[in-house]
């Protein structure tokens, strides 16, 4: 009887430990889980970029709908505007009355001179690593559960100025630095002035 009771206690204890536990609301895992589900959003802000041979800034309006996006940049290189429509594989850029079709990364480098991993930027803008890139390292988080920085795809990233939005807190400033294998230095800074989200039907 004692042996049976002991066995029942062990089984009951094991069943309890297998129950999924809710994540603490202030944890990095909870933040990452929440913002990873934001697939339809628009942000407005300013993008600054610097390469060894040039640099500049542009006003940015970014609309993301699942895996598709539209980026409008006004004033890159101090003049003109550009619009980029695409997904993770292919993008089309209208700039200086011409149309260019290449990979998103090729177009970004053509426009800014910086080898930006465009597919990762939609994740970095939300303050989380991209699942399509190599695993992030050197993750540092705040007591509120936000990432203050991590390294991914050869970029050292930092996140700050978190602000309350309709979808919870999101970063207002993202900076990234990258050094190529040839020793060339690149950087970008994204200052986000506003976020908006599609209402769920």
Task: Name the DSSP class of 90.
Answer: -
List, for residues 56-68, the tens digit of each pLDDT value.
888 999 999 998 9
67, part of any domain: yes
18, part of any domain: no
CATH number at residue 101: 2.50.20.10
Helices and strands in the chain, H and E counts:
4, 13
Angle at 196 between CA 193 and CA 201, to 5 degrees: 175
Supply the pLDDT for residue 104.
86
List, for residues 38-97, the tens digit of each pLDDT value.
999 999 999 999 999 888 888 999 999 998 999 998 876 555 788 899 987 889 988 878
80, part of any domain: yes
Domain of 35 in residue numbering reads as 26-197
5, part of any domain: no
pLDDT band at 107 (very low <50, low <70, confident <90, very high): confident
């Amino acid at each position: 009887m004692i042996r049976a009771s002991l066995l029942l206690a062990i089984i009951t204890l094991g069943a309890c430990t297998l129950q999924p536990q809710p994540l603490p609301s202030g944890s990095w895992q909870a933040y990452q889980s929440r913002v990873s589900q934001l697939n339809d959003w628009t942000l407005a802000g300013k993008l600054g970029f610097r390469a060894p041979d040039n640099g500049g800034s542009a006003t940015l309006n970014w609309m993301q709908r699942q895996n598709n996006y539209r980026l409008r940049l006004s004033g890159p290189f101090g003049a003109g505007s550009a619009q980029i429509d695409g997904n993770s594989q292919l993008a089309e850029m209208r700039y200086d009355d011409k149309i260019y079709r290449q990979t998103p990364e090729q177009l970004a480098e053509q426009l800014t001179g910086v080898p930006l991993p465009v597919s990762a930027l939609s994740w970095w803008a939300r303050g989380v690593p991209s699942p399509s890139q190599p695993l992030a390292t050197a993750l540092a988080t705040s007591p509120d559960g936000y990432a203050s920085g991590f390294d991914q795809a050869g970029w050292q990233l930092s996140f700050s100025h978190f602000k309350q939005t309709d979808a919870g807190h999101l970063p207002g400033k993202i900076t990234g630095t990258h050094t190529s294998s040839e020793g060339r230095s690149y950087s970008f800074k994204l200052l986000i002035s506003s976020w908006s989200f599609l209402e769920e039907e």
